[in-house]
Amino acid sequence: MSDRLPPGSGPLDLNHLRTFLAVHRAGSFTAAAHLLGLSQSTVTAQIRALEQRFGRELFERQARGVSPLPYADDLAARLAVPLDRLAGLADGRGGGVPEPVHLAGPAEFLGTVLLAALAPLVAEGVQLRVTTGLTDPLLEELRAGRHDLVVATRRPRGRALLAEPLADEEFVLVAASVWAERLAGRELPDALAEVPLLSYAEDLPIVRRYWRHVFDRRLHARAAVTVPDLRAVLAAVTAGAGWSVLPAYLCRAELASGAIRLLHEPADPPINTAYLVRRPAASADPHVALVREHLLAVARGCV
Query: How, if at all, do strands 162-176 and 271-278 pair?
Result: antiparallel
Tell me, what's the pLDDT at 1? 39
Tell me, what's the pLDDT at 292? 94
For residue 223, give the amino acid letter.
Answer: A
Tell me, what's the pLDDT at 91? 53
Residue 283 CA to residue 249 CA, distance in Å, equals: 31
Domain 1-95, CATH: 1.10.10.10
Tell me, what's the pLDDT at 9? 54
Query: How, if at all, do strands 225-226 and 198-199 pair?
Result: parallel
Strand partners, 168: 273
Query: What residue spans define the domains of the chain?
Result: 1-95, 169-272
Residue 303 CA to residue 298 CA, distance in Å, equals: 10
Contact criterion met (CB below 8 Å) for 101 and 149: yes
Q: What sign does the CA torsion over 256, 262, 267, 269 have? A: negative
Q: Which residues contact 110 (CB under 8 A, 6 or more apart)?
A: 103, 130, 132, 151
**Nearest by Cα to 2 from 49, 54, 47, 50:** 54
Contact criterion met (CB below 8 Å) for 12 and 5: yes
Contact criterion met (CB below 8 Å) for 221 and 245: no
169-272 has CATH 3.40.190.10 classification: yes
Domain 1-95 and domain 169-272 have a common topology: no
Tell me, what's the pLDDT at 89? 59
pLDDT, averaged per 10 consecutive residues of the chain (303 residues), comes to: 48 88 84 83 93 91 83 87 72 59 95 93 93 93 90 88 93 96 92 95 94 94 95 97 96 96 94 93 82 88 68
Output the pTM of the full model: 0.66
**Nearest by Cα to 301 from 171, 118, 167, 165:** 167
Three-state SS annotation for the chain: CCCCCCCCCCCCCHHHHHHHHHHHHHCCHHHHHHHHCCCHHHHHHHHHHHHHHHCCCCEEECCCCEEECHHHHHHHHHHHHHHHHHHHHHCCCCCCCCCCEEEEECHHHHHHHHHHHCHHHHHCCCCEEEEECCHHHHHHHHHCCCCCEEEECCCCCCCCCEEEEEEEEEEEEEEEHHHHHHHCCCCCCHHHHHCCEEECCCCCHHHHHHHHHHHCCCCCCCCCEECCCHHHHHHHHHCCCCEEEEEHHHHHHHHHHCCEEECCCCCCCCEEEEEEEECCCCCCCHHHHHHHHHHHHHHHHHC
Tell me, what's the pLDDT at 98? 67
